[in-house]
Amino acid sequence: MDKVKWADFKAMCEHLDSVPTLYDNSFPNNLLNGRWENGYFFKTADCWNYIKSALWSNCAIAYDTTAGHYCYQPNAELGDWTGGQMLAHCYDRSTDMSNIQEGEFLYLVANGGSHAGVYIGEINGKRKVCEFTPIWENGCHLSDIANDGTRSYMGVKCYAWQEHGKMPWIEYPTVAEPPVVVPPTEDITETPVDGDADENLPLWKKLVIEILFAIAKAINEVFGK
């Protein structure tokens, strides 16, 4: 399978911040919504389906702007992996968030769910992660990541990232070929396989985050970013 160039993947991530999406917590726009069409699986652009669409289809056609879905083509080589399975096949994995490099896969497990994103580097002096989550606003966000892994958007924080690693399906610039991937020893079946950790927050926490985010948006509109 041909690797995806990191420059192409990064451009896609940066573009998604301004593209509409159907990803939210309401049926039928949640992550259970999907359809098969011409051999491709179109699924709501949740936290790791957008990553799979870039890796396992064509970056130029992966995003369906009219339907708010991404498409990808599961096959015998890759299957249709969850975020936990994708992390298990990453190399140079680390829990140290201060040494993360552009293009690395990010992952966390919390509150009975799991969540994923991709680190895209610094923008205006802030380290940014491309992630899909409805916890702040529906759809895609270029969120901030601190050296300790804390993630935030417009100053409102949520669960911290726990681990990162390089994806063997991406061609990273000036990086040597990855070592042979040894089958993971951890039991990835223990990892929550469906759902976003943010979606599983208790109602009171969601309300607190919504209030804080509304305040942050109001301040941002008055004083600017």
- Between CA 36 and CA 28 the distance in angstroms is 16
Instruction: Establish if 216 belongs to a structural domain.
Output: no
- Give 163-194 pLDDT, tens digit per residue: 999 999 899 987 555 555 555 555 444 444 45
Same domain assignment for residues 127 and 183: yes
Angle at 40 between CA 91 and CA 2, to 5 degrees: 40
Which range marks the domain in which residue 194 is found?
Answer: 83-211
Boundary of a domain, candidates 31, 50, 72: 72
At 208 the pLDDT is: 85
Same domain, 110 and 193: yes
Are 121 and 38 contained in the same domain?
A: no
**DSSP assignment letter at 72:** E
Residue 91 sits in the same domain as residue 49: no
Locate 82 and state its tokens: 């969850």
User: Of 39, 51, 41, whose CA–CA distance to 13 is shortest?
Assistant: 51
pLDDT digits (tens, 9 = 90+) for 112-137: 788 999 999 999 999 999 998 888 88
Task: State the Cα torsion 17-18-23-28 to the nearest 10°.
Answer: -170
Position 152 pLDDT exceeds 70 = yes
Report the run of H or E that residue 53 belongs to, with start and end: helix 49-56
Q: What is d(CA 224, CA 217) in angstroms, rounded to the nearest whole number?
A: 10
Task: Answer yes or no: do 130 and 33 share one domain.
Answer: no
